[in-house]
Homo-oligomer: A and B are copies of this chain.
Amino acid sequence: MAKANIAQPFNREVQYAAKRRAVIRAAAGAFRRRGYHNTSMVWIAKSLGLSKAALYYYVKSKEEILYECHIMVYDAMDEVVKSVRGKGANGLEKLKRLYGAFAALMTRDGLALLADVDSLKGAFQTEVLGRRGKIERAVTRIVEGGMKDGSIKKADPKITVFFFMGALNWLNVWYEPGGRLSGEIIAETFVTQMSDGIAS
């Protein structure tokens, strides 16, 4: 019980976890802007005021960092999916909430869908692809629901989903925090455009 009450800044495990997260986040930002292979461990280290060797105190390999980046995003997305359960009058309404929240994740929280899945090997890749599939299936299910309740016009669900999910992914490439276009405006426009594109 003693340890449990120590204030966070003086709790070593908490500090370690926080620093580890900082490493992941620093890397995630760099990966998003310049890609996985164009970002070196030295660069990540320097951006945190550390040496490369120190990084390996927090992570096992560069690949593990990339893996964690993906997991971070999918965790957040799972959370969003859970939060729209039961909400919304129909499939389309539910989807609008979901999509808006996804857009917010990208712009507000700096979380980006990474495309470098092929740089992951073995179990890492398998799990990330699994998580991606899970999200896709969840979104597809909502879309199918909307097609059934008549709020979304009938079409192949897969194409429908990948269309607007693709738009989201491309955000990584051109969105710059603090730029002319605020995250709110983007999210709003995206939701409208998505919604009008598929409403019946």
Q: Chain A interface residue count: which class?
A: 35 or more
A34 touches B118 (CB 8 A): yes
**A56, CB-defined interface residue at 8 Å:** no
Distance between A200 CB and nearest chain B CB, rounded to angstroms: 10
Q: Which residues of B contact A33 (CB under 8 A)?
A: 118
0/1 string, A171-200, CB within 8 A of B gives 1? 101100000010001100110111111110
**A18, CB-defined interface residue at 8 Å:** no
Distance between A132 CB and nearest chain B CB, rounded to angstroms: 10
Distance between A40 CB and nearest chain B CB, rounded to angstroms: 12
**A162, CB-defined interface residue at 8 Å:** yes
> Given the known A-B contacts A35-B119, A196-B198, A198-B196, are A162 and B174 also in contact in the complex, defined by CB atoms under 8 Å?
yes
A189 touches B165 (CB 8 A): no
Can you name 14 extra interface pairs (CB under 8 A) apart from A115-B173, A159-B185, A166-B170? A34-B118, A35-B118, A36-B37, A158-B181, A159-B181, A159-B189, A159-B190, A163-B167, A163-B193, A164-B167, A165-B170, A167-B170, A195-B197, A196-B197
